[in-house]
Structure 1
Amino acid sequence: MHFISVFLTVFSLIYSFALSLSAQPKVEQVMIKQGLVDVQKVDPSILVELKYSTTDNFIGKDVYDDLTRAYMQPMAAQKLAAASKYLQAHHPDLRLLVYDAARPRSAQWKLWNALPNMSENERQKYVADPRKGSIHSYGCAVDLTVATKDGKPLDMGTKYDFFGKLAYPSQEDELLKSGKLTQQQIDNRHILRTAMRQGGFSPIEFEWWHFNALSRAKAKMVFRIVD
């Protein structure tokens, strides 16, 4: 009888897991099967608003369909949780607000094809070539900002997905001197960068919102692309 009871318990758990998995969007099922995790299950205080699940992005279209949760590789999600912890320790009223995380390569193609008039070099500043693979597609990059507890983003000087020097971290000193960015906007960016660096992320030159948990070369060695 004990054996039967154990068997039924295990079967019930497996069945419940299968039901919960089948209820999730297909792209989420793929991510979960590849070992990615929902960042809000690692740290529920992190806010999420996937911009590519809305029309509030540079192509003005929903490219993610029913994907609304932010997934990352476990090591990247743990780093994000560490960044979140640091932010709240130093700024208790602020939270990380994720705009994009793991991105299927099918969505990467949509973003890539939305910039046909840019030169190859210019386009790759903002959207990685899907043939080479975006770090987002390995679940090792995140786009985000800092917001109040109720989700109001701080002023960073540009919107998310702004293509131009005004969004370049590398140009901030010059932009401040010319009056194109304010000191408050620069300070807000520093709050974000400091927290993310403390979590183990690296910023990039052209986008204040983008951070990598590791290099694309290392991501390719360790992880599979989400298709």
Structure 2
Amino acid sequence: MRFFVLLLFALSPFGGTLVCSFAQPKVEQAMLKQGLVDVQKVDPTILVDLKYSTTGNFVGKDVYGDLTRAYMQPMAAKKLADASKYLQAHHPTLRLLVYDAARPRSAQWNLWNALPDLPEHERQKYVADPRKGSIHNYGCAVDLTVATKEGRNGTPEPLDMGTKYDFFGELAYPSRENELLKSGKLTQQQIDNRQILRTAMRQGGFSSIEFEWWHFNALSREKAKMAFRIVD
């Protein structure tokens, strides 16, 4: 008897990896068992390009391996969908582009250990101490930007935010934008683009942080810790 297996593949809009529908990675299975959801199943218009599943990050290597989909707690994914809805209502040609969402604590250690030269207090500006857990580890934080729905070659194109994702330094600090504009280190357009992102995310119920224009929290770490378990 011959058996025929139907393979269903999804192709990333960024020319990414082909994913077999029934060969779900163990890390994704673990997230689903903990009740997390795929954000693109909540809102298919949200774009995803997990930077830690590529070499295009500050570590310079693939940290996530098989994890290529963005997962969050259902309440956080709902907030993200609300932010997406707001963005599209006010900027129909733009879309949210997720760079990172729920993060296993094992990956948190990899990121933490990738910054050995920074003093611990400085390191915590950019990577939460794995012993305490990041809000990402609870599935309640998201790193993202805004992209055009269709850019060059028909693929989404991120707006100019003044720095790349995971830039460590004052140029990425929302708290310093007025000074950086006056000194000519950021342009008004770059700040306006950041404001488009912040406005949409705040309308969705997220809060921003001081050091990274791309990072938003659906809950505080204290509330996330009370409500959810860390993804290991």
TM-score normalised according to structure 1 size: 0.90
Which residue of structure 1 aligns with residue 107 of structure 2? 107
In the alignment, does 2:180 pair up with 1:175? yes
Report if aligned partners of 1:22, 1:29 keep a CA contact under 8 Å in 2.
no
| Superimposed CA distance per residue, residues 75-107 of structure 1 (whole angstroms, 9 cap, x where no aligned partner) | 000000000000000000000000000000000
Which residue of structure 1 aligns with residue 205 of structure 2? 200
CA distance, structure 1, for counterparts of residue 29 and residue 47 of structure 2: 21
| Superimposed CA distance per residue, residues 110-152 of structure 1 (whole angstroms, 9 cap, x where no aligned partner) | 0000000000110000000000000000000000000001320
CA distance, structure 1, for counterparts of residue 213 and residue 231 of structure 2: 24
CA distance, structure 1, for counterparts of residue 63 and residue 120 of structure 2: 22
Larger CA Rg, structure 1 vs 2: 1
**What SS does the corresponding residue of 1:218 show, helix, strand or coil?**
helix
List, as ranges, runs of 4+ consecutive aligned residues in structure 1 with deviation greater than 4 Å. Answer: none
Which residue of structure 2 aligns with residue 49 of structure 1? 49
Which residue of structure 2 aligns with residue 210 of structure 1? 215
Opposite residue 218 of structure 2, the aligned amino acid is A
Shift of 1:67: 0.6
Which residue of structure 2 aligns with residue 39 of structure 1? 39
How many residues align? The count is 208
CA distance, structure 2, for counterparts of residue 191 and residue 200 of structure 1: 15
Shift of 1:22: 6.2
Which residue of structure 2 aligns with residue 161 of structure 1? 166
CA distance, structure 1, for counterparts of residue 24 and residue 230 of structure 2: 20
Alignment of 1:1-227 (within 5 A): 23-150=23-150, 151-227=156-232
**What SS does the corresponding residue of 2:158 show, helix, strand or coil?**
coil
TM-score normalised according to structure 2 size: 0.88
Q: Percent identity?
A: 86
Opposite residue 215 of structure 1, the aligned amino acid is S
Structure 2: segments with no counterpart, 5+ residues:
1-19, 151-155
**What SS does the corresponding residue of 2:109 show, helix, strand or coil?**
helix
Structure 1: segments with no counterpart, 5+ residues:
1-19
CA distance, structure 2, for counterparts of residue 22 and residue 84 of structure 1: 28
Shift of 1:23: 2.3
**What SS does the corresponding residue of 1:144 show, helix, strand or coil?**
strand
| Superimposed CA distance per residue, residues 185-211 of structure 1 (whole angstroms, 9 cap, x where no aligned partner) | 000000000000000000000000000
**What SS does the corresponding residue of 2:125 show, helix, strand or coil?**
helix
Opposite residue 204 of structure 1, the aligned amino acid is I
Report if aligned partners of 1:21, 1:29 keep a CA contact under 8 Å in 2.
no
Q: Whose helix fraction is larger, Structure 1's or Structure 2's?
A: 1
CA distance, structure 1, for counterparts of residue 79 and residue 147 of structure 2: 19
**What SS does the corresponding residue of 1:125 show, helix, strand or coil?**
coil
**What SS does the corresponding residue of 1:176 show, helix, strand or coil?**
helix
